[in-house]
Structure 1
Amino acid sequence: MNTRQQLILQNVIEKGKISVAELAEATGVSVVTVRHDLNYLVEGAYLRRVHGSAVAIDTDNVETRMMNNFNQKKIMAEFAASIVEDGETIFIESGSTNAVLARLLRDRKNLTIVTVSSYIANLLRTSHCEVILLGGILQKRSESMVGSLTQLALENVHFSKAFIGIDGFRPETGFTGRDMLRADIVNCALRKNAMNIVLTDSSKFGHIHTHPLGPIGLVNHVISDGQLKESYKKSLADQGIKVTLLPNV
């Protein structure tokens, strides 16, 4: 995917639906060129086309999700990277903001990254850091390893910090996830009793999903953006969780 196609995808995700003409104006190229780019993106299942417009799709594809509010995710990931020390072994779970974090850490020489994300491992294939990709069943749509083999591998490695993503949070339910198999992996990582850090944007708060992540007392730190409601911040703080909110862009 080239830079222009990334810009097109970001515009589609942010607006939900946008016309070909608007995309041509936003990218500074012809309508014909935009249509060629849209064909590529449709073939890759990044979006769909309908009646002269491009429409966002609900997807677990990491690269697609990364383009959604990328600048905000980068700010959060930069802060997360700043608290990773040289010589550490850290765990980075799957997800779009975690993928941005991995990109920022790729030039660290004295660092070991453990992950269940084949997408993240691929991002780090030319990096200076040591990369451990845990085995198991590849969940193709999320490019993440899941299942009992992955849990067994996770139980047999150690790390000082774990960066995880969530799909929802409400005070009455705690953190929740949409996918049972990935939730099992997150819960296995949380039980390692490292410094557990939730890295997520504020849009996930207020939603409830089927699978619990936790218990909440296993989470030490939440990194999010400045739009997080005060009530959620207070609920987290009341549980003894450190909350860092980064400026909005």
Structure 2
Amino acid sequence: MNQRQQAILQQVNDLRRVSVADLSCANGVSEVTIRQDLNLLEKRNYLKRVHGFAVALESDDVDARMMINFTLKQKLADYAASLVNDGETIFIEGGSSNALLARNLAERKRITLITVSNYIAHLLKETECEVILLGGLYQKRSESVVGPLTRLCIQQVYFSKAFIGIDGFHPETGFTSRDMMRADVVNAVLAKGVENIVLTDSSKFGQIHPNPLQPTGAISRVITDFRLQQPAREHLDALNIHVDTVRE
């Protein structure tokens, strides 16, 4: 990585989302050169490119994250939707893949949807789907609610299935999250003992983040893509977690 590419990466990490035009101006090179730099940085998994922008990998902006691997996430959401029956009450935690799942379900099935995601609730405002939006401390970047009030709300509602997102999975740590308070919300869901389903692309496997999602045994199914490595699949099998893989 040369000095300019280091500067670009620093700018993206600081601002979370930067246009190619702004990077070109800030670094005094053409947009063609910036695109070449971004291609290299994305190939090395330092950032993601999204329609004329560079986005930090750890961005909580749901719109930005949704456009990363959008086609794959749509197929993951389509498969997850096939597991939900008309008339069910389900919980959807948040994140880009889960937002696509929520939209799919709201357009095709008669369900009641419980969520902590204001983004998902807003996404479904023009649909006939009944949405229960739980309360709590509002996280502006992720557009989700967290905290003790959210835990209390989760304890007071019933749902038959829960779809949750993760930030990492490793055999030594299990499922993990970057955010302590969002992990606390997921753990409150896992404690209810319903059918818990992880919906995520395979890039999260092999990553470790500080906050564990527990108990691991409360997760019954993982829906991910065909790039899931065999060692991770075998470890999930050993935990009696059913794995469904989807092709892009």
Which residue in 1 is equivalent to 2:55? 56
Q: 1:100 to 1:109 in 2, by over 3 A?
A: closer
Give 1:227's aligned amino acid: R
- Once residues 126 and 210 of structure 1 are traced to their aligned partners in structure 2, the CA distance between those partners, rounded to angstroms, is 37
Which residue in 1 is equivalent to 2:48? none
Provide, for residues 99-143 of structure 1, a one-character-per-residue CA deviation record: whole Å limited to 9, x for no partner: 110110122452100000000000111211110000011100100
1:138-217 to structure 2, matched below 5 A, reads 138-217=138-217
1:208-247 to structure 2, matched below 5 A, reads 208-247=208-247
What secondary structure sits across from 1:73 in the alignment? helix
- Once residues 111 and 96 of structure 2 are traced to their aligned partners in structure 1, the CA distance between those partners, rounded to angstroms, is 21
- Once residues 123 and 236 of structure 1 are traced to their aligned partners in structure 2, the CA distance between those partners, rounded to angstroms, is 32
| Alignment gaps of 5+ in structure 1 | 1-16, 18-43
Asked if 2 retains the 8 angstrom alpha-carbon contact of 1:108 and 1:129, the reply is no
Provide, for residues 150-207 of structure 1, a one-character-per-residue CA deviation record: whole Å limited to 9, x for no partner: 1111110010000000000001100000000100000001111110000000000000
Calculate percent identity across the aligned residue pairs: 54
Give 2:88's aligned amino acid: E
What secondary structure sits across from 1:68 in the alignment? coil
Q: What count of residue pairs does the alignment treat as equivalent?
A: 206
- Once residues 68 and 55 of structure 1 are traced to their aligned partners in structure 2, the CA distance between those partners, rounded to angstroms, is 11
| Alignment gaps of 5+ in structure 2 | 1-7, 9-14, 25-30, 35-52
Asked if 1 retains the 8 angstrom alpha-carbon contact of 2:92 and 2:164, the reply is yes
- Once residues 205 and 45 of structure 1 are traced to their aligned partners in structure 2, the CA distance between those partners, rounded to angstroms, is 23
Question: How far off is 1:45 after superposition?
Answer: 6.5
Matched, 1:94 2:65: no
Alignment TM-score, normalising by the size of structure 2: 0.80
- Once residues 75 and 107 of structure 1 are traced to their aligned partners in structure 2, the CA distance between those partners, rounded to angstroms, is 15
- Once residues 93 and 135 of structure 1 are traced to their aligned partners in structure 2, the CA distance between those partners, rounded to angstroms, is 13
Alignment TM-score, normalising by the size of structure 1: 0.80
Give 1:74's aligned amino acid: Q
Matched, 1:85 2:85: yes
Asked if 2 retains the 8 angstrom alpha-carbon contact of 1:90 and 1:159, the reply is yes
What secondary structure sits across from 1:197 in the alignment? strand
Give 2:157's aligned amino acid: V
Which residue in 2 is equivalent to 1:24? none
Matched, 1:66 2:69: no
